[in-house]
A and B are shown apart, each in its own frame.
Chain A
Amino acid sequence: MIFSSTFFLCVFLPVTLILYYILPFRFKNALLLLASLVFYAWGEPVYVLLMMFSIVFNYFAGIQLGDLKSRRVRRIRKHVFVFTVAVNVGILCFFKYYGFFLTNVNALLGTHIPIKDLALPIGISFYTFQILSYVIDVYWGNVDVQFNIIDFGAYITMFPQLIAGPIVRYEDIQRQLKKRTITLDKAADGAVWFIRGLAKKVLLANNIGMLFDTVFAIPAAQRPALTAWIGIIAYTFQIYFDFSGYSDMAIGLGKMMGFTFVQNFDHPYISRSITEFWRRWHISLSTWFREYVYIPLGGNRVNPLRHIRNIMIVWALTGLWHGAAWCYILWGLYYGILLLLEKYIWGRFLQKCPRIFQHIYTIFFFIIGWLIFTAPSASGLWDNFKAMFGLLGNGFSNSATWYYLTSYLILLILCILCSTPLVRTLFGMVSQAGKRWGQIVASAVYVLMFITSLAYLVNATYNPFLYFKF
């Protein structure tokens, strides 16, 4: 199930929340688990079994790790730990990278191993990382073993963040699983977060995404430079509002149920360096890699060569995490290199540059990053790149360019504004204005955002049957 659907909004959410609020606290996690399993099974009726296996397996693995700790058998404990991690990573790799791996093996060795087309279980990358955060922290002794399988299952499956994060580390939430307060204020705040996220996803991301689709449906060889830029800028906004909108909805739903999740995006597009960009983009993923890969490898407290190695490992993995294709690995490495360059070569210089230059520099590199991210193939990437710089001989623009630009100008401006904290500041000012009218305007804006999003969702099945089309 996805949040931006009428079924979720009109059936799943109200039923779940009403039950959740009326049940006494000790049943709330059980309901959350049950609801989350339904939520997951809605989109993955078969793979829900896989997830249940993961829950049971890791539940016992956690107990085992805790037990072995008290018995001080370090070697066995290490073996159990490695085995547990291997099973989790193995499942992830099998479903996510198996086809990719074999395609490359076949290409490399000229073999013809038949590739079975496995559907990727939705959210597996997210929940596997949540599981790993638990297993690793139990091994390190950072968190207590969870003996309640319902609480543990609720943590893994928690529907608000199940499909698209944020990746909640067990450490951050273990206390909330036992004790959390549900207040009207928190729920109301949650509704506001949810509406904001929904509007980001449905109004901004989906609509600007159509511009990207239109532009990239034009063969690169016929794409004038400005059109190419408009297309990739559209994608830049689509992915941000899609992803951060989803995270906002997750945070909002969490609040409605008394949880506090970490913030996942913090206006990444206003960053003034790539280093800063990654402190603001998909924060929960960067944190995960930092805690469980980068720091264990030695982080930056090693000699530069090892540091470079660490960075490149982390970023190759970050890329690979996003998907089983070379473009994602390339995208990860691209950021690894940029971060190293900022660290060792031009970081100092960049800091001394005028702010406007820092912004242009950062924007340029993350846009090129998205170009890599969406690359259909190596040659496709190169063509898309050349089109942006007029190297395919299509000139700067044509009449269609202006058509796209005027058709989407308002939306593009909205996207730019909503990428900055400006809108929030302005909104804050308006909401404080006057005795009451500022508050009325502010509430009206939220409700209007919700109604408009709803109209786009209802319209999704707008599908006139044109049998008289011929």
Chain B
Amino acid sequence: MNRRTQQKQKNRFIRIVTLVLFAAIIILADIFLLVSHNREFSERENRVLAKPPVLTTSNLLSGKYMTQAESFISDQFFLRDGWITYKLNADKLLGKKESNGVYLGKEGYLIEQAKEPAEEDFERNLDAIRDFALRHAGDQNIVMTVIPNAVYVMSHLLPTGAPAIDQEAILDRISEKVGTVLHFEDLTQDLIAHRHEYIYYKSDHHWTSLGARYAFDALYPSLGITDPVDTYTQYKVTDQFSGTLASASGASDVRDEIDLFVPDSDIQYVVEYVGDSKKSATIYSSSALDTNSKYEVFLAGNHPLIKIRTTAPNKKNLLLIKDSYANAFVQFLLPYYGTIYIVDPRYYSDDLDKLVTTGEITDILFLYNVNTFVEDNSIAGALTAES
């Protein structure tokens, strides 16, 4: 056999083996699609997977049927989670340092990318906060803080050179706008001082209880708290927390622990989820620990209005206007107020001014994180609502 024919023979072998395996993989995928039961829910993606497409004339003409068919096959593809993991590893192998808006940082940290202010809403919100503060300035002590995110505080853990935006500059803008009518507290440096500690979750975009504690330690004077409890009993409730950033990036192997910080005091309290008309004797929701969204262990997630009445001798009542960062912060506030009203403007639709009066509010705290605050489109509406 001469070299040419030998070469041809070899190429033929390669092609035919390739063809056979190519066909085998496709047939395998089809067999799985036909015989296996459709998976309804993906734990990993935390969503309902696509069902078989529905054949109707209108679906066909609009092209909806085709889109559904494509999602169905991809969603129900055999070993779907395995393919996703494989893809992520291929990405890493190629040197990618981010995935779906999440930096694959150092020391196992996943870090949410910084958000740019949505200018129009951002300005509108600040104007509304300013007006709101002016309406209540004489009667209530108003404090505001916006917590910088891991992307800024823990910038040493970002992939080298990752473009980050200066969140302190955003805080300066906020301070400039509202700093004259309320106490604006920039806690950036207080958090940066602890940047080597576990103050943000590795797999989630929230801060840990420890991070919230350092924030409280820096914030309490402006809240008028004079002798804070400084001992806490810590409970580690899980070490299997896989948060939003793990889901978004696909790096599902990153795990966090969640610690609760319970102030050492003999205060009793009752939590009322107004609207759900549910009551609870604790701010912690242990059932959340059985789900994917374990951060909801704090106050069972976000609610329009939560009312906490305590046995604290103090006659002060706090109105907390907030996003989910505050959920981990509330545990530190319990010993100092008779009643705490917690309002999430994204879901709250009643008159806040009225609540200030009827609730005999003495202190108002705005607590947000930068990424949420700069993209929020609900604060202005909630603060100016008239009913």
Contact = CB atoms under 8 A, between A and B. Distances in A.
Interface residues of B, number: 69
A13 B26 contact: yes
Given A403-B97, A403-B163, A458-B83, A466 B15 contact: no
Interface stretch (A2-10, A154-162, A348-356): A2-10
Given A10-B73, A13-B26, A468-B293, A409 B95 contact: yes
A458 B161 contact: no
A105 interface: no
B14 A454 contact: no
Contacts of A184: 16, 19
Interface string A175-192: 000000000110111011
Contact of A11 (B10, B22, B73, B80): B73
Given A5-B70, A464-B46, A468-B244, A443 B14 contact: yes
Given A45-B63, A407-B97, A408-B95, A468 B296 contact: yes
Contacts of B205: 469
Contacts of A455: 83-84, 86-87, 90
Contact of A6 (B15, B73, B293): B73
Contacts of A452: 86-87, 90
Contacts of B74: 6, 457-458, 460-461
B21 interface: yes
A207 interface: yes
A466 B250 CA distance: 12
Interface of A, secondary structure class, is: helix
Interface residues of A, number: 63
A88 to B, nearest CB: 26
B95 A407 contact: yes
B179 interface: no
Interface in B210-235: none
Interface of A: 1, 5-7, 9-11, 13-14, 42-43, 45-46, 184-185, 187-189, 191-192, 194-195, 207, 399-403, 406-411, 431-432, 438-440, 442-443, 446-447, 450-452, 454-470
Contacts of A13: 26
Contact of A450 (B22, B244, B302): B22
A443 B87 contact: no
A27 B301 CA distance: 63
A58 B130 CA distance: 71
Top 3 A-B residue pairs of the complex, sorted by shortest distance between their CB atoms: A403-B161, A465-B47, A188-B15
25 contacts: A6-B73, A10-B26, A10-B29, A14-B30, A185-B16, A195-B22, A399-B161, A399-B163, A403-B97, A406-B161, A410-B95, A439-B10, A439-B13, A440-B17, A443-B14, A443-B21, A446-B18, A451-B25, A456-B87, A462-B250, A463-B45, A464-B247, A464-B248, A468-B46, A468-B244
A463 B47 contact: yes
Given A403-B161, A454-B83, A10 B10 contact: no
Nearest to A184: B16
Interface in B64-98: 66, 69-71, 73-75, 77, 80, 83-84, 86-87, 90, 93-98
